[in-house]
């Protein structure tokens, strides 16, 4: 499922027509969703970002915009996957 599938504008259109290869736009969409009081949509966007190797950790733990996302019960499982992604990235940099 693509977040904001009912959205309008160039970003929503681009996400519906372009292949999913870059996770960064999903983090941007997650921040917009969180700001619009849609924490579940934000979390889904963050999950997609992590599957595309955009780890989003530790930002999701510290940025105020994601406070509502951190309050979700399913955040703990997401956080674990984001931390694992971050560790893989840091390991590759060593």
pTM for the whole structure: 0.77
- Domain membership of residue 13 (yes or no) is no
- Domain membership of residue 9 (yes or no) is no
- Domain membership of residue 14 (yes or no) is no
- Domain membership of residue 86 (yes or no) is yes
Looking at the 3D structure of the chain, how many domains does it have? 1
- Domain membership of residue 10 (yes or no) is no
Angle among Cα 83, 79, 52 to the nearest 5 degrees reads: 65
Encode pLDDT of 75-88 as tens digits. Answer: 999 999 999 999 99
Encode pLDDT of 3-43 as tens digits. Answer: 444 455 555 665 566 666 888 999 999 999 999 999 999 99
- Domain membership of residue 81 (yes or no) is yes
- Domain membership of residue 35 (yes or no) is yes
**DSSP string computed for 29-77:** HHHHHHHTT-HHHHHHHHHHHHHTT---TTHHHH-GGGHHHHTSTTHHH
Question: Whole domain around residue 42: which residue ranges?
Answer: 21-93
- Domain membership of residue 29 (yes or no) is yes
92 vs 48: CA distance, rounded Å? 21
């Amino acid at each position: 499922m693509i977040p904001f599938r009912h959205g309008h504008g160039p970003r929503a259109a681009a996400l519906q027509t372009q292949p999913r290869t870059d996770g960064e736009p999903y983090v941007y969409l997650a921040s917009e969703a969180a700001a619009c009081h849609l924490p579940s949509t934000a979390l889904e966007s963050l999950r997609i970002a992590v599957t595309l190797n955009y780890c989003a950790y530790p930002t999701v733990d510290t940025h105020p915009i994601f406070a509502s996302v951190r309050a979700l019960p399913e955040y703990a499982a997401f956080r674990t996957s984001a931390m694992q992604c971050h560790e893989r990235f840091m390991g590759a940099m060593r």
